[in-house]
Chain A
Amino acid sequence: MPETTNVDYSTKIPNNVGLTDDQRVLKALEQWHPGYIDWWMTMGPEGFQTSDVYLRTAVSIDPKGWAKFDYVKMPEYRWGILLAPRQEDRQVNFGVHKGEKAWQEVPGEYRAMLRRLIVIQGDTEPASVEQQRHLGKTAPSLYDMRNLFQVNVEEGRHLWAMVYLLQKYFGKDGREEAEGLLQRRSGDADKPRMLGAFNEATPDWLSFFMFTFFTDRDGKMQLESLAQSGFDPLSRTCRFMLTEEAHHMFVGETGVGRTIERTCQAMKEAGIEDPYDIAAVRKLGVIDLPTIQKKANLHFSLSLDLFGSEVSTNAANYYNSGLKGRFQETRIEDDHELTKASYPVSKLVDGQVKMIDEPALTAINMRLRDDYVADCAKGVDRWNKVIEKAGVNFRLKLPHVAFHRHIGEFQNAKATPEGQILSDAEWSKKKDQWIPSTSDGDFIASLMTPCWERGKFAPWISAPKVGIDNKAGDFEYVKIHQA
């Protein structure tokens, strides 16, 4: 079957890339499939593999109506290979090849670079499934549980998407890398995932929401810049992945928003005016706003690390080669070559944070991170509206980019959330005010009791305004059949 907008379900692997006519790749994927299922069974959501989950499955790549909802057992989910429609005459839109026809095959000289980009992106997809695998047990509602599993199966599909590219375009090396993606494990001492934030624990649901808000938003930015790629199959893959990724952002933003809403509501009901009266707020069985701020500080700073060094030769090479662009590249008004432009980069100079102009090509990571920070800030504003509306005197803030960093310009500095540089000793003394302490973690953990009754929600979180697929409030999103 040739490439179409409709998905071919006749093969074991749903796809719109004409897999039946591509026996080599079909065979490679079929050989990879058992290993994937094995990985899903051992590292996927724990305890719910036999439950029926109301999930959406992509059935088309038509922007209107691309998915359908139905109950499915997760291991039977139809993970497919779906690429956004091919645009005739698409060009390489930036870098030294600007204006050339977009590549339908991997250019030999960029093979290693492209493979690395795809492997790094691919490695994050299964990692988050692994990080989140224990969360089902403490889900605050069936609605949230379903959202978690939706995120998980789609991350699984994103892994498929990257594996397809590896197997289709990168030969033997690609097949080995595809295997490697199933071998590494989040947080494992011997075979960790490639990027730091994907080896951190996701211990509770607030972490999960923060992760989907902050870390999946990094994923979104990465996909946005890969969607600009001159390597057309990568671009098309990422464009389709972005439609799914939007839901993950939604889960994060509304999850944190509903947590905030419930906290404010409980405070008002109890007549607590001081948001910093943490003990009093916690007694209500909700998460106090300062602790939510700390969680945001932690996840934001870990996610910033994912953008890599502010000034990066690799990023410059990716851009100049036409492999990875900027956020909304084609909407930016400049020469899209950047050989003469500069871009301000925040740096630590003599113990102070300063903006220094660097060649724009080498500052690609910095630019993407700036776009990311702006995108995060909009979400934080919406959270603040919830607080404002409840009449609580508190504002959440994004910490400074120098705060709590492990990669890039600020990795060796200690800074406050306001960006003031501190000594190591002061940092040790004060860090519990800024990032969650063990006792904060213990408190949140104490709230994480499951609430699996239809239409009910754990006391620390509000109900959503509307249901998934417009279902009524007491819809049974997950029919639990525990193994």
Chain B
Amino acid sequence: MAERIDFQTEPARYRHWKLKFDGEVAELVMDVDENAGLFDGYQLKLNSYDLGVDIELNDAIQRLRFEHPEVKVVVLKSGKDRVFCAGANIRMLAGSTHTHKVNFCKFTNETRNSMEDASRHSGQKYICAVRGTAAGGGYELALATDHIILADDGNSTVALPELPLLAVLPGTGGLTRVTDKRKVRRDLADAFCTIEEGVKGARAVKWRLVDQVVANSKFEQTVKDTAKKLAAQSDRPSGAAGIRLTPIERKLDDKSVSYSCVRIDIERDARRATITIQGPAAAPPASAEAMVAEGAAFWPLRLARELDDAILHLRLNEPEIGVLIFKSQGEPAQVLAFDAFLEANKTHWLAREVLHYWKRALKRIDLTSRSLVALIEPGSCFAGTLAEIIFACDRSFMLIGSFQGDNRVPATITLSPANFGTYTMSNDLSRLATRFLGEPESLEKAKAGIGKPLEAEASEELGLVTTALDYIDWDDEVRIFLEERASFSADGLTGMEANLRFAGPETMETKIFGRLTAWQNWIFQRPNAAGAEGALKRYGTGVKANFNPERV
């Protein structure tokens, strides 16, 4: 394994992608360098990908939104001749630990969801121009776009060959998007998923696997025309200049990572990390223009980027840290001032992007398979947007009054309108709506409390925190909770937490993650796939897998 997986990159450092800009249309070209895999032991042939490729893709998607407000349509295409993308690299998967595979799949799913998020909420549409084969994860990339154009050249196909080829399932939402997004009939979907070589030409359109097939000679023009048509529907500003997502500054050592407004402190023996969030140091900018001028330094954006990086770092580089403790420090009023600023400017493209980025960063927390705890103490600033972190946690503890010898005012939680629909979870509900699924009156009561600083007992009364404790009980109760948490099975906790976090309706996203966890991650563990004679292990050797025929 590499020393540390770093999620920070920038276009100048890309090995696998190229971004090309032409006014309101950008091209996102996948041209994977087969010798630049993240780990040793495999080559990224045929535009197959590993986490390194996807880190660049995620970066590119982010930059398209923040650095290029003028881009209304992104054309996703391949830089290779006869292949669009062969999906996740099989040898990489076969050589990876289960933990890495699960984290890899989760991240790639989040990345694809962020493409759909750009389209749905940010007016940045994606077209996929498929020439050559789009197999497995390759087709799943296409599925995450708004419009798939397939070359009708007799060679270009779309395929989900995971089952026949590897005895696993598509890991980035392929099955769900086929049935729920493209609404392919179930029996045709069944046939499609068992045809290793995939489907091409007119049948691909008939089965709704792609939106259109186009002869090679008309391909480029059709892509151009479609891009133009989609661009005309976009509400992104023409002629606005983007901001630069400058490198995030971090300091890392064995026990901590510190950013400008996030700090991670790791207690390795106790297998827990404390993530401390620093509130804003100054008031919000005077105007939207001033916000653009601040760029990546604009506090909500800076914090979202740092928090996102911190979570990804913990996920991939600290697999044994089982509990994440969230704390905050700062002035609640300042946080609320930023909420108000964003609310007042929410039609401005950058404010919109920041709000949606927060939504995605919070979803990333929801989807992190660690026990999440919020400790709300004096000096904290869990207000508005930052209060969402409490609601993302599995448990929350709030101190009543102050610690002995601490003369700071007692901790409060203040809700803002941002807590009631701005940051939806994967289930399309706000965290509070999900929290109070069975008690709509509690949601109303909470709403009535918008703007009021709520101390511990009031917060507990409203159901915003799990437990309010005074200083006498605090240390012991928190310690006991954390020790108990550390004693449970990590797998059991992961499953239980994921079940409890997402009450309410299923959406495509909840299905994708739920089924990834329940089915794919199960199959990934089973001998038919991962055993010494399983399909994943034997892939590429020419030797057939040996299956246990028992249906479970």
Judging by beta carbons under 8 Å apart, are A180 and B539 in contact? Answer: no
- Chain B neighbourhood of A145, CB < 8 A: none
Asked if A190 is at the interface of the complex by the 8 Å CB criterion, the answer is: yes
Whole-angstrom distance between the alpha carbons of A184 and B152 in the complex?
11
Asked if B195 is at the interface of the complex by the 8 Å CB criterion, the answer is: yes
Among residues of A, the one whose C-beta sits closest to the C-beta of B201 is A180
A190-B152, A190-B216 known; A112 vs B542 contact (CB < 8 Å): no
Q: Interface segment, A208-216, A311-319, A385-393, A429-437? A: A311-319
Which one of B196, B216, B542 has the greatest number of beta carbons of chain A within 10 Å?
Answer: B542
Judging by beta carbons under 8 Å apart, are B540 and A316 in contact? Answer: yes
- Chain A neighbourhood of B543, CB < 8 A: 96, 316, 320, 339, 361
Asked if A192 is at the interface of the complex by the 8 Å CB criterion, the answer is: yes
- Tell me the chain B residues, 182-216 only, with Cβ under 8 Å from chain A: 195-197, 215-216
Among residues of A, the one whose C-beta sits closest to the C-beta of B200 is A180
Among residues of A, the one whose C-beta sits closest to the C-beta of B215 is A190
Asked if B541 is at the interface of the complex by the 8 Å CB criterion, the answer is: yes
A112-B195, A192-B153, A194-B155 known; A316 vs B544 contact (CB < 8 Å): no
Asked if B492 is at the interface of the complex by the 8 Å CB criterion, the answer is: no
- Chain A neighbourhood of B155, CB < 8 A: 192, 194
- Chain B neighbourhood of A316, CB < 8 A: 540-543
Asked if A359 is at the interface of the complex by the 8 Å CB criterion, the answer is: yes
Which one of A190, A315, A362 has the greatest number of beta carbons of chain B within 10 Å?
Answer: A190
- Chain B neighbourhood of A190, CB < 8 A: 152-153, 215-217
Among residues of B, the one whose C-beta sits closest to the C-beta of A314 is B542
- Chain A neighbourhood of B217, CB < 8 A: 189-190
Judging by beta carbons under 8 Å apart, are A191 and B153 in contact? Answer: yes
- Chain A neighbourhood of B544, CB < 8 A: 96, 320-321
Question: How many chain A residues touch B (Cβ–Cβ < 8 Å)?
Answer: 24
Among residues of B, the one whose C-beta sits closest to the C-beta of A193 is B154
Whole-angstrom distance between the alpha carbons of A315 and B542 in the complex?
8
Question: Which 7 residue pairs across A and B have the least CB separation, nearest first?
Answer: A316-B542, A361-B542, A190-B215, A320-B542, A313-B540, A190-B216, A189-B217
Whole-angstrom distance between the alpha carbons of A191 and B539 in the complex?
32
A189-B216, A191-B154 known; A112 vs B197 contact (CB < 8 Å): yes
Chain B contact residues, CB within 8 Å of chain A: 152-155, 164, 195-197, 215-217, 539-544
Among residues of B, the one whose C-beta sits closest to the C-beta of A123 is B154
Interface flags for A348-369 (1: CB within 8 Å of B; 0: not) read 0000000000010110100000
Interface of B is mostly: loop
Whole-angstrom distance between the alpha carbons of A315 and B541 in the complex?
10
Asked if A183 is at the interface of the complex by the 8 Å CB criterion, the answer is: yes
Whole-angstrom distance between the alpha carbons of A180 and B203 in the complex?
13
Among residues of A, the one whose C-beta sits closest to the C-beta of B34 is A412
Judging by beta carbons under 8 Å apart, are B541 and A359 in contact? Answer: yes
Asked if A116 is at the interface of the complex by the 8 Å CB criterion, the answer is: yes
Judging by beta carbons under 8 Å apart, are A362 and B197 in contact? Answer: no
Among residues of B, the one whose C-beta sits closest to the C-beta of A95 is B542
Interchain Cβ contacts under 8 Å between A and B, 24 examples: A96-B543, A112-B197, A180-B154, A184-B154, A190-B152, A190-B216, A190-B217, A191-B216, A192-B155, A194-B154, A313-B539, A313-B540, A313-B542, A316-B542, A319-B542, A320-B542, A320-B544, A321-B544, A339-B543, A361-B542, A361-B543, A362-B540, A362-B542, A364-B542
Judging by beta carbons under 8 Å apart, are A317 and B542 in contact? Answer: yes
- Chain A neighbourhood of B540, CB < 8 A: 313, 316, 362
- Chain B neighbourhood of A192, CB < 8 A: 153-155, 216
- Chain A neighbourhood of B196, CB < 8 A: 112
CB distance from B239 to the nearest CB of A (A): 37
Given A194-B154, A316-B543, A361-B543, 15 further pairs, Cβ under 8 A? A112-B195, A112-B196, A180-B154, A191-B154, A192-B153, A192-B154, A192-B155, A192-B216, A313-B539, A313-B540, A320-B544, A361-B542, A362-B540, A362-B542, A364-B542
- Chain B neighbourhood of A338, CB < 8 A: 542
- Tell me the chain A residues, 173-192 only, with Cβ under 8 Å from chain B: 180, 183-184, 189-192
Judging by beta carbons under 8 Å apart, are A183 and B541 in contact? Answer: no
Whole-angstrom distance between the alpha carbons of A112 and B164 in the complex?
10
- Tell me the chain A residues, 322-376 only, with Cβ under 8 Å from chain B: 338-339, 359, 361-362, 364
Whole-angstrom distance between the alpha carbons of A184 and B201 in the complex?
13
Among residues of B, the one whose C-beta sits closest to the C-beta of A116 is B197
Contact partner of A362 (CB less than 8 A), chosen from B152, B154, B215, B541, is: B541
Among residues of B, the one whose C-beta sits closest to the C-beta of A176 is B203
Among residues of B, the one whose C-beta sits closest to the C-beta of A412 is B34
Whole-angstrom distance between the alpha carbons of A337 and B352 in the complex?
62
Whole-angstrom distance between the alpha carbons of A338 and B543 in the complex?
10
- Chain A neighbourhood of B216, CB < 8 A: 189-192
- Chain A neighbourhood of B153, CB < 8 A: 190-192
Whole-angstrom distance between the alpha carbons of A96 and B153 in the complex?
35
- Chain B neighbourhood of A112, CB < 8 A: 164, 195-197
CB distance from A310 to the nearest CB of B (A): 12
- Tell me the chain A residues, 289-323 only, with Cβ under 8 Å from chain B: 313, 315-317, 319-321
- Chain B neighbourhood of A191, CB < 8 A: 153-154, 215-216
Among residues of B, the one whose C-beta sits closest to the C-beta of A338 is B542
- Tell me the chain A residues, 152-204 only, with Cβ under 8 Å from chain B: 180, 183-184, 189-192, 194
- Chain B neighbourhood of A362, CB < 8 A: 540-542
CB distance from B39 to the nearest CB of A (A): 20
Whole-angstrom distance between the alpha carbons of A191 and B540 in the complex?
30
Among residues of A, the one whose C-beta sits closest to the C-beta of B151 is A190
Among residues of A, the one whose C-beta sits closest to the C-beta of B203 is A176
CB distance from B83 to the nearest CB of A (A): 12
CB distance from B228 to the nearest CB of A (A): 23
- Chain B neighbourhood of A319, CB < 8 A: 542
Whole-angstrom distance between the alpha carbons of A183 and B540 in the complex?
33
- Chain A neighbourhood of B542, CB < 8 A: 313, 315-317, 319-320, 338, 359, 361-362, 364
Among residues of B, the one whose C-beta sits closest to the C-beta of A364 is B542
Whole-angstrom distance between the alpha carbons of A361 and B154 in the complex?
29
Whole-angstrom distance between the alpha carbons of A13 and B261 in the complex?
81
Whole-angstrom distance between the alpha carbons of A362 and B155 in the complex?
24
CB distance from B144 to the nearest CB of A (A): 27
Whole-angstrom distance between the alpha carbons of A191 and B155 in the complex?
9
CB distance from B390 to the nearest CB of A (A): 50
Whole-angstrom distance between the alpha carbons of A170 and B215 in the complex?
27
Whole-angstrom distance between the alpha carbons of A393 and B122 in the complex?
73
Whole-angstrom distance between the alpha carbons of A390 and B124 in the complex?
72
Whole-angstrom distance between the alpha carbons of A194 and B215 in the complex?
15
Interface flags for A383-420 (1: CB within 8 Å of B; 0: not) read 00000000000000000000000000000000000000
CB distance from B136 to the nearest CB of A (A): 14
Whole-angstrom distance between the alpha carbons of A313 and B215 in the complex?
30
CB distance from B353 to the nearest CB of A (A): 39
Contact partner of B541 (CB less than 8 A), chosen from A180, A194, A321, A361, is: A361
- Chain A neighbourhood of B195, CB < 8 A: 112
Among residues of B, the one whose C-beta sits closest to the C-beta of A181 is B154
- Chain B neighbourhood of A339, CB < 8 A: 543
Contact partner of B154 (CB less than 8 A), chosen from A116, A183, A315, A364, is: A183
- Chain A neighbourhood of B197, CB < 8 A: 112, 116
Whole-angstrom distance between the alpha carbons of A317 and B540 in the complex?
8
Among residues of B, the one whose C-beta sits closest to the C-beta of A320 is B542
- Chain A neighbourhood of B164, CB < 8 A: 112
Whole-angstrom distance between the alpha carbons of A131 and B33 in the complex?
35
Among residues of B, the one whose C-beta sits closest to the C-beta of A184 is B154
Whole-angstrom distance between the alpha carbons of A191 and B216 in the complex?
8
Whole-angstrom distance between the alpha carbons of A183 and B155 in the complex?
13
CB distance from B233 to the nearest CB of A (A): 30
CB distance from A126 to the nearest CB of B (A): 13
- Chain A neighbourhood of B541, CB < 8 A: 313, 316, 359, 361-362
Whole-angstrom distance between the alpha carbons of A338 and B195 in the complex?
28
Whole-angstrom distance between the alpha carbons of A96 and B196 in the complex?
21
- Chain B neighbourhood of A359, CB < 8 A: 541-542
